[in-house]
Amino acid sequence: METTISDQAILTSCQAKALNILEREGNVFLTGAAGTGKSFLLQRYLAKKPTERFPVVASTGAAAVLVGGRTFHSFFGLGILEGGLEATVTRALRSGKVMNRLNRACCVIIDEVSMLSGMTLKAAETVARRVRGNDEPWGGLRIIAVGDFAQLPPVTPGITRKDWAFLHPVWQESDFQPALLSTVMRTQDTEFLTVLNFVREGMTNDTVQEFLQRRMTVSDDSAEGTRLYPHRAQAEAYNRRRLDAIPNTLRSFPTHYSGKEKYFEAAKKVVPIPEILLLKEGALIMMRKNDITGGLHYVNGSLGYIQHITEDSLIIKLFSGEEIDVGTDKFSYLDGDGHEVVEAWNFPVTLAWATTIHKAQGASLDRMIVDLHQLWEPGQAYVALSRVRSGAGLMIERWSPASIVAEPLVTEFYNKLVDQAQRYIPRPLYVLPEAEKNETLTLEQSGQKRQERARIITNLLTRKVSLQNMAEHCGVKPERVILYIEKLLASGKKFDLSYLTDSIVEQQKISNAFDAYGSDFLKPVFEALGGSVPYETLRLVRLNIMAEREGFEPSNPVRG
């Protein structure tokens, strides 16, 4: 029986369709221009869903703090990807915590996916597949990727060509169903919307040029609003100069950190407030949190002037005309398991005469002064312009056509997405899988059980016991034994596994197919061999290949 989406009246038509896609099976790519309500829709979908089974991860620490999630890298155990893909995967597979959270999860939400490189996405997919012992993409784990590739690209040091995630084979293998949002909620200014869409596509036609010229303003301190700069040093210098010019008493509020000290430095880099917040009465500030009282008096990006300061409150006159009383608030930094390991307490504000384009991402500014003269990244001008709620709140110091650039590969990608969305065929409704029977075990008990099985399998391998006998001895399926052996090899154990494949007549032919199509997925090899070789046989040959990589040669090699 089909389910209906409740309260559709508050959703746009494209949001209602996207929510319907989210409620169905398969992986989903939730995307749309800035301000179309991606975060709002995601919150709607996740309402009342268990966090452990539907974890939210973000591509950067700053994004993770804003969405109340953890970082993509920490969740999948990737670290800084030191040593490349295989070394990264090997380290992740040694972590009991990574194994536990990937086996508990049934659907992972990846926020700001556009800022992840293809190689990073592939590393996480490989970890998930190997941990879960399933040869489907992501080991059968459902993935909801959220983001906009027309915004800032992934950071790929030392590589001139951007490693866009959508260009990597792992994106195609993931088979994402696009859920496209097209109605911008941040502004109802139709002229500004038209200009934003042109800038998003890197176009500087007459409409764009006329609009930008009309919003040009003299660059002086009388302009009321937040200035966006491409470089942090420019923003910090301008904020300090404006603060120093106010004759009122300077007040200093250090951010108080509590929790696990080893995470303090990481938290300081990503929370949106400084280590020491300097304020004066009369200072222009930006709210860095949404109003959680239910009154919706302000959002992340709302601007106002400080009217009065005490030790525990700020009286702020917002640009909307409303006066609010704000106390200190908490920003949480989570570890890979989603546990709060650091609390950062301070007033949820920052000086707002200036900020960087990167730091403004995710904010909705009331008024903005921006320098669009010497930008260097595709999408940077679009991100900057789309921060402001309407064209009436936009002032431009300088601009040049060379700064308005879109990545052609991104444009081509989105054109294909539109075509794919038009051919949409609804998938079956997604049903939350039942928790595994052993999920009631404590983490310590389940860890001890795995360690004991690994010890038994290690002993049986040295005695050259058959796969079927090992499975019966451990009380699991043969596929599970293979998973244990893969993890033992990844942890550095060395075995001669050639005895498991000695009787396979087509071993060389299978090995050649793995050389041609790679060993990550079995399906391409299965199809290349005409479907004549069972998957269990393919898994055994792949195990032997892995063992050879670790330094063992087969005792009875098959010759071509």
* One pLDDT digit (tens) per residue for the chain, 560 residues: 333 333 444 788 888 899 999 999 999 999 988 777 788 888 889 888 888 889 888 876 666 666 666 788 888 888 767 777 888 888 888 778 888 888 888 999 998 898 888 888 999 999 998 888 888 899 999 999 998 888 776 766 555 667 889 999 999 999 999 998 887 765 667 788 888 888 888 888 999 999 999 998 876 777 788 888 877 888 889 999 999 999 999 999 999 999 888 888 888 877 888 899 999 999 999 888 777 665 567 777 788 999 999 988 899 998 888 888 988 888 888 776 667 888 889 998 999 898 887 777 666 788 888 888 877 777 788 888 888 888 888 999 888 888 888 888 888 999 899 888 888 888 898 888 765 434 444 444 555 667 777 888 888 888 788 888 788 777 777 777 888 888 888 777 888 888 888 888 888 888 888 888 887 777 788 888 887 888 778 888 888 888 877 544 433 333 22
Helix axes 206-214, 190-200, angle to 10 degrees: 120
For the record, the structure tokens of 301 come out as 């990006």
The position carrying tokens 């609010």 is 324
Looking at residue 188, the DSSP 8-state letter turns out to be -
CB proximity list for 189: less than 8 A, separation 6 or greater: 390, 391, 392
Q: Which of 467, 464, 474 is nearest to 496 (CA)?
A: 464
Spatial separation of the C-alpha atoms in residues 120 and 454, rounded to whole Å: 29
In this structure, which topology does domain 8-185 adopt according to CATH?
Rossmann fold (3.40.50)
The position carrying tokens 């056509």 is 401
Looking at residue 160, the DSSP 8-state letter turns out to be S
Q: Which of 15, 61, 10, 8 is nearest to 35 (CA)?
A: 15
Phi, psi of 215 (to 5 degrees): -95, 5
SS3 325: strand
Question: Radius of gyration over alpha carbons of the chain, in Å?
Answer: 27
Spatial separation of the C-alpha atoms in residues 102 and 55, rounded to whole Å: 10
CATH 1.10.10.1390 fits 442-549, yes or no: yes
Which H/E stretch holds residue 385? helix 380-385
Spatial separation of the C-alpha atoms in residues 61 and 155, rounded to whole Å: 14
pLDDT of residue 559: 29
* Residue type present at position 329: D
SS3 30: strand
Half-sphere exposure of 99 (CA within 13 A, CB side): 19
Angle made by CA atoms 493, 497, 502, in degrees to the nearest 5:
175
Q: Which of 240, 194, 237, 224 is nearest to 385 (CA)?
A: 194
CB proximity list for 441: less than 8 A, separation 6 or greater: 449
pLDDT of residue 398: 85
Laid out side by side, the sheet with 394-399 consists of 354-356, 226-229, 368-372, 394-399
* Residue type present at position 183: T
pLDDT of residue 557: 34
CB proximity list for 160: less than 8 A, separation 6 or greater: none
Domain boundaries, the chain: 8-185, 190-405, 442-549
For the record, the structure tokens of 139 come out as 């080991």
Spatial separation of the C-alpha atoms in residues 285 and 346, rounded to whole Å: 14
For the record, the structure tokens of 472 come out as 């019966």
